[in-house]
Structure 1
Amino acid sequence: MTGKICCLTLLFLLFFSSVFAEEIVLNMDGYDALVTRDGEIIVAPDRYHAIYELGGGYLAFGMEQESENGFQKLYFALGNSDGNILTETEYTHLEYADGIILFEKDGLYGAMNEKAEVIVPCEYTWLQKCEEGFLALKSDTWDTAPDNVYILDAEGNESKSSISVLDMGKTSSEGMIAALSADSYTYGYLNAKGEWQIEPSFTYAGEFSDGIARVSLGSGLGVINTKGEWAIKPEYDALENTGEILIGTKYSKGVTLIARDTLQVIAEFSGKEVYAHGLGEYIAVYMSDSTLVVSDKGENIFAAPGNAKITYAGAGVIVETEGESALFSFNGVQLSVLYDQIIPAGVHSGRELFIIADLEYGGELTAQYGLMDGEGTLICPCEYRLLYPLGEERFFAQRGGYTGIIDASGMWIARFGGDS
C-alpha cells in the first residue's frame, strides 16, 4: 500500500478547535505539567516529557524510554484529568474516538474501552472506528500489494470482507471511509460492513461533512452527496469547504462562491490572479488591485489594497501590509496602532483579545509577545517570550525565567522556574 512563529500559529489552531477544559496542560521545556484553572498542580513538571489531551476526559502521559535500537523514544500511558494513570507506559500513539481509545504499540494497532480494557487486540496494521465497530487491515500498509479489509464489531469479533484496497482514509465520516480499490485503482467509500457504499470511480475522495464530500474525476474537483450523486460538477482546480461557503477556483480564470446549504452560486470574481480562502464566517478574495472581505450572502463588506493580507477578527479584520499589521472595524476604522504581527486569541469573558508581536530581525528572528483587546487597547506589553491562549481567561506565558499561566490581565495564576 502506498502509503518560533509557525509553532505559535499551530497552537492557536489547536486552541480554537478544542473546548475549554477545567484542566490545563502546560507544554514546557523538558517536562509537561497538568494544572487546574486556578493554578492547583495536578501533575508536576518532573515526570512526563509530554502530556496531551485526547478528549472524553482522557489524556496521554508520555515518558522518554530507550527503544530496541538504543535510541530514546516517547512512550505513552493512558490517564484521566485527575492525573490517574490507567495503563502501562507502552504506547507510541493514543487517540480517542466516540468512547473508544485507539492505540499503537510496536507498529500495530488495537482499541480499548473507557475502562482501559482491550476490546480489539493489538494485531492490525491499520484500524479505524466506523459507526459501532471498526474497519481494519492486517498486511503491510507500506507496500504496493492489495490489502484485505476486515470488519470488527463493537466487541472486537472479526470477519473478512471481500474487498481489497491499496489505500484507506484516516477517519470515518458519516459512516463511510474513503478507500482506493485494488481492482479499479480508483477511490470510493466503504461503509461499516466493509462494502462499497459508493462505488470506486474517483481519482480523489475527501471526507464527508454535513452530507457532502469533495471528489475528483481527474478533470477537476466537484462535490457529491451521500448517495454518490453530483451536487457540484467536477470543474474546479481547487475547492475549499469553509462550512458556510464552498470556494471553487479555476486557475487563471477566477473564483466562484457557492452557498453550502443551497449549493447555489452567490458571487463570482474573474481574473487571472484571483484567489480566495475562508476567513472565519467570511471569505477573503484577493485580486490584483484590491483585497475584499465577502459575506456568506456574497456582499462586499470590506476592502483593502491589493497587496494586503487579511485575517478574520470577529467584529473586524486584521490587515497586514509590508510586514506591519493593524486591527480594523468592518467600516474601515483603524482600531489599533501598527504591530509586527496580530493574532486572534479568542473571546474571553465577552471581549475579543489578540496576541501582538514585536519581531526583531538580527542574526536570527526573535519575538516578544503581548496582549490587546478588540478596541486596540494594550493590556500586556510585548515582554513575553511565548504567549498563547489555553482557555477562557487563561494564557500560556514565558517571561523572566518563568513559565506558566497568566489571566487576561497579565496576573500569574501558576508559574514554574525562578525560585518556585
Structure 2
Amino acid sequence: MVNNIPAGNLQLCAALLFSGSSFCQISKLLDAFKIQGISESCFHKHQAKLLIPTINWQWKIDQDDAIENAIANGAVTLGGDMRADSPGHSAKYGSYTMMDLKANRVIDIQLVQSNEVGNSQRMEKEGFERSLSLLEERGVVVQSLVTDRHTGVQKFMREQKKDIRHFFDPWHMGKGLGKKMDALSKGKGLQDVGLWRKSVVNHLYWSATTSTTGEEVVANWSSVANHIQNIHSHENTLFPSCLHEPLVGDQTRHWLKPSTAACEKFTAILLSPRLLKDMHKISPEYHTSGIECFHSLILKFLPKNVVFSFKGMLCRLQLAAMHYNENAGRSQASTADGDLRYSIVFPKFKHGEFIVRALKSNPTTGYIDKLMELLFHHVVEDPQPYLDFSGQMAVPEKLCAQFIRAEKEEAVSRHRSRFFKNT
C-alpha cells in the first residue's frame, strides 16, 4: 500500500499512461492471459488525481530546461506547425508545436479547442500566438521563424512582429506544388506534366539553398519555366543560363512544346504571382522536418481513432514531447563490426520509389523513470501542490455545452410561449 492505495494498481496505471498505451488495449491483453486487472473507473480515478498532475509537473521542469538552454544560446530560430486531431475541416482539437530548430527540441505545445476561437480554421493562428507570446514573456529572443504559409500567421507576423524574420518551409511549399501538378497531370493530354514532378520539387529546394537573397531565389526558380521547354538561356541577369551541361542522348527530358495546353497551364502554376511572392521568404537553411517527425510520433501516444478529454490530450502531447526531446539526438546504429547500418524504405510521398535511410540506435525511455520517481516519492505523499498546479491550466468549455444551453433556452422559450398562450 502507498498512502492507502494498492501499489500494484497505481504502478499498472502509471506504466499504462506513461508508455502511451490505452486502457482498452491493456485490458484486452490481461483478459487474454486470464489475469485479473484493474477496472476502467480505477484507472481514470488515478489518472485524474495523480498521473496527469505528475506529467504536467514534469513537463514544466523539462520545458523550463529547454527555455533556459535556448536563452543561453542567444538568438533563437523557431519552427512552428499545427496538428489537428482529425482530418478535414471539423477538427475538435488543434495542437500547435513550437520547436527550437537549432537544438531540435520541442520547446512549447499549445492545445486549442475549436469552440475557443469559433471554428477549427482559426485554431492554428491562436495556438501560434499563444506559443510565441509565452516564449517571449519567458525571455526567449526570437531571431527568425519558420512556418507553413498559413495566411493568418503571415498577417500576424507582418503587422505585429516586424522585427522577426519570417520564413516559409520548403517542404510545405513543395508538397503544395506537387499536389497541383498531380491534379493537372490527370487532365486529357496533360500527362507529361506529371513526369516533371520530382525535378521541379528538387529545383525548388535547390533554389532555396543556393540563393542569398529573395530576388535571387525568384530568379533561380523562374528559370524552370524555360527549362521545361528546352530553353536554357534566361532574361534575368541574376540567373542568365542553366548551370547543367548540354543534355544529350539518355539525358534528354520529355520537353514540353511551347504554346501547348500542357505547357501554358504548367507555366501558370510555376509562375503564379502568389508563389513568386512567397519564394522571397522560402527558408534557405532551416526546415520543419523535425516537427513533422514529432507529429508522426504523436500517433503513438494519441491515435486519431480514439477520443480523449482536453487534459487527456494535453498530457499525452507532453509525453510525446518528452520522448522526442530525449531521443532527438540519437546516433546512427552500427553492426558488431562497427559498420553503420542503413535500411531501404518506401515512404508514401515517394509514390512507390524507395530511399536509403540511416538506422538510428534504439530509443530510450528515461523520462518514464523520472515520472515514476516523481509519482511515488512526491506526488503520492502530498498530491495537493501538483493538483493545484494542474488545476491552474485553463480547460475550455465542452464543445457540446453551447448547444445544450441553446436547446435549454429554446425549450424554456417554447414552454413560456405555450404557458402564456393557454392563460
TM-score range with shorter-chain normalisation? under 0.3
More strand by share: 1
Q: Determine which structure has the larger helix proportion and give its number.
A: 2
TM-score, scaled to structure 1? 0.23
Instruction: Point out which structure has higher relative CO (alpha carbons under 8 A, 6+ apart).
Output: 2
Larger Rg: 2
